[in-house]
């Protein structure tokens, strides 16, 4: 049951650090999978829109 608990506090400062650059896409893909906000291709700009989908394949 681990997760990002303090999004406006600690997680907001940590989420953008370069060594955690895969955390934010992972979070966005997870939220989109649960809430169906948009198509996964629309979450990211090119060329990342096609690369991210291959990295997070379920």
pLDDT of 57: 72
Q: Is residue 6 part of a domain?
A: no
Instruction: Give pLDDT tens digits for 4-48.
Output: 666 677 766 777 676 556 677 888 888 999 999 999 889 888 888
Asked if the structure places residue 10 within a domain, the reply is no
Q: Which residues contact 15 (CB under 8 A, 6 or more apart)?
A: 4, 23, 24, 27
| C-alpha atoms less than 13 angstroms from C-alpha of 57 in its C-beta half-sphere | 4
Q: How far apart are CA 1 and CA 50, in angstroms?
A: 30
Q: Within a domain: residue 37? A: yes
Whether residue 7 lies inside any domain: the answer is no
Domain count, the chain: 1
pLDDT at 34: 93
Answer yes or no: is 26 within a domain. Answer: yes
- Domain holding 41, by residue range, is 21-55
pTM: 0.62
Q: Is residue 39 part of a domain?
A: yes
Is residue 25, in this structure, part of any structural domain at all? yes
């Amino acid at each position: 049951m681990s997760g990002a608990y303090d999004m406006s506090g600690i997680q907001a400062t940590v989420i953008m650090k370069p060594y955690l650059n895969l955390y934010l896409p992972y979070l966005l893909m997870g939220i989109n999978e649960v809430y169906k906000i948009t198509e996964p291709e629309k979450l990211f700009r090119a060329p990342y829109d096609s690369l991210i989908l291959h990295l997070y394949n379920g």
